[in-house]
Amino acid sequence: MKFTHLPNETILQITESLSPPHINHLLRANRHLSLLLPSDLLSSICRTRSEEYAVKAIYFFAERREGLPISWLIQKGALEFIESGRLLLHDAVVNRSCAVVETLLDCGVPADTKDSMGRSLVYLAVKMERQDVLEVLLGRKDVDINLQEHRRGKSPFHVAVRRKHLPAVRLLMNDKRVDVNLADHYDETPLHSAVRGAQVEIVKMLLEDEKLLVNCFDVCGHTPLHLAVIKGSVSILQMMLRDQRLDVAIGEPGGQTLLDIATERGYEDVVQVLLDDGRFDPNVLDDMRGRKGNWTPLHRAVYIGNDAIVDLLLSDGRVDINCRSNTGDTPLHLAIHGRQRGILELLLAHEDVDIYVTDDAGMTPSELAAQLEPETSFSREGVCDLSD
């Protein structure tokens, strides 16, 4: 007698001792058996604790949104003998359809798990730009959307901002559970990251959030405002300066002012924005030590030879052209030391320049010029016979 002609009870008794692969072959071989044996296959999977076939079965039914077989397998302890049982959803978020993710969640597969790197389901959905999956996850109450991965302490929101994934940023910001100020292991907030990456649109979105803290320090002592200047991001700087929560008095950790930083990096447009703002004193001496210490931005611009920034600073009526450093040098002294003829002309043309002020060595600019370049003479009218 053919196997398929046996009574159903006899077939079921026989298959009780078969392994999942053998039962699976029978299912595929005959339509009658395909209707008779599915439950036997599931029982065999649990009886033999077959990880391979448990995973295959779960994904098979999940793709078809058939939750009952999956729930039965989970109830029978399938997740306990599947070595990667805790990470079924992680794999689904990365490699499977949104339908699989939804079905597994509905069947009770835990949603608050992390992989070995501490990455949550929401983290992976953001990283893989799975917008449909992210929407599903954010719709659940059993998902912690602020979980941080182990290595750097990045949250899903950090990742969305850093990867410039605007749809994910919008979704997350619309969820009241998201902590927009959550700092990573380096005390970097999402706003730090957005400014560092010159992400104008995301910075704008963040600044519109009333919960945002705009004056946070990262591990290097930088606020987002510092980073905007360091990166030379004019549009971001202008947006931040319009924010009433901004504290412009916070100093740079290296002892320099924001004008110092912009000057040293040669950012003419940033210097202009800071001067136009009116809240940044161009005469503040930095806190740096050594011969290059206690300089104003004008000292620094003269030293590096940036004619354009020197001209910008001199055009600001607040600038003290005769301010002395910790060695008594005025910008004019530095221009002579550096043999900056163009800058000398700019300084000497200024109505407030004092050509008789002395440095700590008791030397006036003219005496210093005579010592460095015997063939050079200058007056309020300009420089004459400057040797190479």
| Per-residue pLDDT tens over the stretch 138-167 | 999 999 999 999 999 999 999 999 999 999
171 in the same domain as 189: no
Q: 348 versus 26: which is more confidently predicted?
A: 348
pLDDT of residue 168: 98
293 in the same domain as 196: no
284 in the same domain as 220: no
- Summarised one tens digit per residue, pLDDT across range 183-234 is 999 999 999 999 999 999 999 999 999 999 999 999 999 999 999 999 999 9
- In a domain, residue 12? The reply is no
Spatial separation of the C-alpha atoms in residues 300 and 309, rounded to whole Å: 10
202 in the same domain as 256: no
309 in the same domain as 231: no
Over residues 19-29, the mean pLDDT reads: 51
207 in the same domain as 244: yes
Which of 179, 198, 222 is the C-terminal boundary of a domain?
A: 179
267 in the same domain as 170: no
Spatial separation of the C-alpha atoms in residues 128 and 131, rounded to whole Å: 9
Answer whether residue 334 shows pLDDT above 90: yes
CATH number for the domain spanning 159: value is 1.25.40.20
- In a domain, residue 125? The reply is yes
Residues 6+ apart with CB under 8 A from 281: 257, 318
166 in the same domain as 200: no
- Summarised one tens digit per residue, pLDDT across range 68-113 is 888 888 887 888 878 765 688 999 999 999 999 999 999 989 888 8
- In a domain, residue 73? The reply is no
- 């929560």: which residue's tokens? 245
Which of 148, 179, 210 is the C-terminal boundary of a domain?
A: 179
- Summarised one tens digit per residue, pLDDT across range 229-276 is 999 999 999 999 999 999 998 877 778 899 999 999 999 999 999 999
- In a domain, residue 380? The reply is no
Asked if 66 and 38 touch (Cβ cutoff 8 Å), the reply is: no
Its domain, for residue 145, covers 111-179
- In a domain, residue 313? The reply is yes
Count CB atoms within 10 A of the CB of residue 368: 18
Answer whether residue 33 shows pLDDT above 50: no
Tokens standing for 22? 């053998």
- In a domain, residue 91? The reply is no
Which of 215, 233, 249 is the C-terminal boundary of a domain?
A: 249
pLDDT of residue 27: 45
- In a domain, residue 120? The reply is yes
Strand partners, 384: 377
Mean pLDDT, the chain, rounded, equals 85
194 in the same domain as 128: no
Could you tell me what percent of the chain has a pLDDT over 70?
81
Over residues 286-312, the mean pLDDT reads: 87
146 in the same domain as 156: yes
- In a domain, residue 336? The reply is yes
Q: How many domains does the structure of the chain reveal? A: 3
pLDDT of residue 388: 43
Q: What do you get for the CA distance between the two ends of the chain, in Å?
A: 112
What are the φ/ψ torsions at residue 385 (nearest 5 degrees)?
A: 55, 45
Answer whether residue 40 shows pLDDT above 80: no
Q: 198 versus 30: which is more confidently predicted?
A: 198
Fill in the amino acid letter for 55. V
pTM for the structure as a whole:
0.83
166 in the same domain as 116: yes
**In the 3-class helix/strand/coil scheme, how is the chain assigned residue by residue?**
CCHHHCCHHHHHHHHCCCCHHHHHHHHHHCHHHHHHCHHHHHHHHHHHCCHHHHHHHHHHHHHCCCHHHHHHHHHCCHHHHCCCHHHHHHHHHHHCCHHHHHHHHHCCCCCCCCCCCCCCHHHHHHHCCCHHHHHHHHCCCCCCCCCCCCCCCCCHHHHHHHCCCHHHHHHHHCCCCCCCCCCCCCCCCHHHHHHHCCCHHHHHHHHCCCCCCCCCCCCCCCCHHHHHHHCCCHHHHHHHHCCCCCCCCCCCCCCCCHHHHHHHCCCHHHHHHHHHHCCCCCCCCCCCCCCCCCCCHHHHHHHHCCHHHHHHHHCCCCCCCCCCCCCCCCHHHHHHHCCCHHHHHHHHCCCCCCCCCCCCCCCCHHHHHHHHCCCCEEECCEEECCCC
189 in the same domain as 173: no
